[in-house]
Amino acid sequence: MAHGRPDTGYLHWRWQPAACRLPAFSAANFLRLLANKHLSFVGDSLARNQMESLLCLVASHAGPPDLVYRREQDKFRRWVFRSHNATVSIYWSPFLVNGTEQSPTAGRVQNHMHLDAADERWAAELGEMDVLLISAGHWFLLPTVFYTGGEVVGCHHCGGLNRSESGFFEGFRRAVRTAVGAAMGGMAEGGMAVVATFSPAHFEGEWDKAGACSKVEPFREGEKEMEYMDREMWRIGVEEVASAVPPVERVRVEVLDVTRMAMMRPDGHPGPYMHARPFEGGPKERVQNDCVHWCLPGPIDAWNEVLLELLKRWREAEGDMAVAAS
């Protein structure tokens, strides 16, 4: 809105599941459930987007938290809501696993991902996390070389490597599997790991060739089918959670299934208003659009409504286990 977006309908649409009631987000309930606990978001800019939504939802009712840690241009940050000693943190890890980001200026035209080793920037601190939310996917669509055991096992957009294209689905699957495995093995007993499913983009055209997202209303039921790539990325997240068997007793593994609800909301992106007043001065040959991330307030707030329900289940199970133990 500050950048000049004229419509406001995206602020008022709210996703409702068909078979149950989803309560509105309650900051008081969130703080009660996360009292003396640490919730960490790990992943790419969609993880950060959801974390920012959560902080806004809580701070608007409970006051702003204290920023207690930051480094690497705010890619790693931590806040504390002092009233409940509730900690929320963000770890930048777009691959989830160890890797090197592409840098044409340094001669790296592909990302490099080591699929068998979780990114130690977050994995080394798993023992401090009570709830871990893993959210990634879009970086796997970029040119990438995949490794296991130090050997190349595949690549996507393999230009100049003299290798056959392997695609990115298997690389994404193995990265999610490694991340979930690290969480299950590294979190303290009683923790919960949550995998957020893939969030579809809504570019009408190519993202880097003036693709836009001009819709100002959600899709109606049945108007839009999930595209193949989005469906496969969604399937990987769901299947990896379903097949996870925690080696540590009482570590929960849950899926935060956001793919379909995100697909229905082409109206909720910043679009050309990722920059201030993009059409000022008359028509332009090309205006870059952001059709991946979400406006705040906006559709991504519903993800945190579902996350709050997962937190309720988790703490209720904790209570049951405490009774059983006594």
Q: Chunked in runs of 10, what are the mean pLDDT values of the chain (326 residues)? A: 93 89 95 98 98 97 96 96 98 98 82 97 97 98 96 91 90 98 94 97 74 90 94 98 81 96 96 90 79 96 97 86 42
Residue 290 is a catalytic residue:
yes
* Paired strand residues for 114: 98, 147
pLDDT at residue 246, rounded to an integer: 73
pLDDT of residue 207: 55
Which residue among the candidates 130, 267, 290, 301 is catalytic per the annotation?
290
Catalytic residue, candidates 38, 84, 269, 293? 293
pTM for the predicted model, two decimal places: 0.94
- In this prediction, residue 281 carries a pLDDT of 78
Q: Which of 45, 112, 157, 275 is catalytic?
A: 45
pLDDT at position 210 is: 57
pLDDT for the residue numbered 150: 95
pLDDT of res. 209: 57
45 is catalytic: yes
Alpha carbon separation from 222 to 226, 260, 263, 264, 287 (Å, rounded)? 10, 11, 12, 10, 31
Place of tokens 């595949």: 154
Q: What are phi and psi of 196, to 5 degrees?
A: -80, 130
The residues, ordered by sequence, that sit 6+ positions from 31 with a Cβ below 8 Å of its Cβ are 58, 62, 81, 83, 84, 86
Whether residue 61 lies in the annotated active site: no
**d(Cα 241, Cα 300) in Å, to the nearest integer?**
21
- Looking at residue 45, its amino acid is S
Q: What is the pLDDT of residue 326?
A: 36
* Fold of the 25-275+284-325 domain: Rossmann fold (3.40.50)
Q: Using an 8 Å Cβ cutoff, are 57 and 27 in contact?
A: yes
Residue extents of the structural domains in the chain: 25-275+284-325
